[in-house]
Structure 1
Amino acid sequence: MLQTILLVVMILIGLALTGVVLLQRSEGGALGMGGGGNSFMTARGAGNLLTTLTWWLGAAFGVCAISLTIVGNMERGASSVLDAETVGSIDLDATTTSPAEQQPAAPAAPTGPSLDDLEASLPAAPAAQPAGDEPAQ
């Protein structure tokens, strides 16, 4: 339950963080767009507010991620695949026949053409002649 709540909060923080970052004024001009003169706040006030809000949302996202990791590890428990109780409870009588009594599996059928098929489809090549001999006429 707590893990689900933390996951939803993390998604909401991520969406808010994305929106705040997209609202900020472009400083580098990477897209050729800058902040316009008709903004709802002054450039300095908007920069300080959005920068502060970005830092707070980023910190909240980090804390939420760490909390989600801790809660996920607590719910998983400290069990291992190689615990003595688990290994002892494996049912060894599941196979009633011994390996000697089992029939060997048939080889799998080829799924595509083989090298033999390719060689059979090629025209027969003439026999190679020695370099010094010329064909008789």
Structure 2
Amino acid sequence: MLQTLLLVAMILISIALAGVILIQRSEGGALGMGGGPSGFMTARGAGNLLTVTTWWLATAFFLCAIGLTIVGNISRANQSIVDPDAVGALATPAGATPAAPAADPATAPAQPAGPSLDDFLSSSTPAAQPAPAQPAPAQ
């Protein structure tokens, strides 16, 4: 609920910040689009008000962004981005059935979650394969 509230506030602040920035008078020079006193807010006091409003909205935007980050990480807690069930399915060879759990998990030795370095090394070196059967000599 807090995350939704912060997200709505951030969207509203973003829209307001864009609007306040767009109504400010151009300080001139960029691409020949100088700022003469042709805007509807030409007084120096209005420029100061818009500058202060921009700073407040920018501060609120950054605080909202930090708040969203914190709230998002609290709700996620200590979960991994990798699904443990999918990792277990990847670690099990194709066609093999997963081993049945031991009767007493407290005394059973711990099983690795996936293949180990030894498994990788043994699969990368060619294993000793039995010699092909020799056909019997014809008499």
TM-score (norm 2): 0.55
Partner of residue 95, structure 2? 97
Gaps of 5+ in 1: 100-137
**Rounded Cα–Cα distance in structure 1 between residues aligned with 2:39 and 2:66:** 40
Q: Which amino acid aligns with 2:7?
A: L
Q: Which runs of 4+ in 1 moved over 6 A?
A: none
Aligned-residue CA RMSD (Å): 3.2
Match of 1:39 in 2: 40
Q: Which has the larger radius of gyration?
A: 1
Q: Which runs of 5+ in 2 are unaligned?
A: 98-139
Matched with 2:68 is 68
| 1:25 partner SS | coil
SS at match of 1:18: helix
1:98: how far off? 3.8
In 1: Cα distance, 2:81 partner to 2:63 partner = 30
1:1-137 pair list within 5 angstroms: 1-31=1-31, 32-37=33-38, 39-40=40-41, 42=43, 44-80=44-80, 90=88, 97-98=95-96
Instruction: Give 1:77 deviation, angstroms.
Output: 0.9
The 3-state SS of whatever aligns with 2:30 is: coil
**Structure 1 residues 26-70: Cα deviation after superposition (integer angstroms, max 9, x where no partner):** 00331414142563451x101110000000000000000000000
Q: Larger relative contact order (C-alpha < 8 A, sep ≥ 6)?
A: 1
TM-score, normalising length: structure 1: 0.56
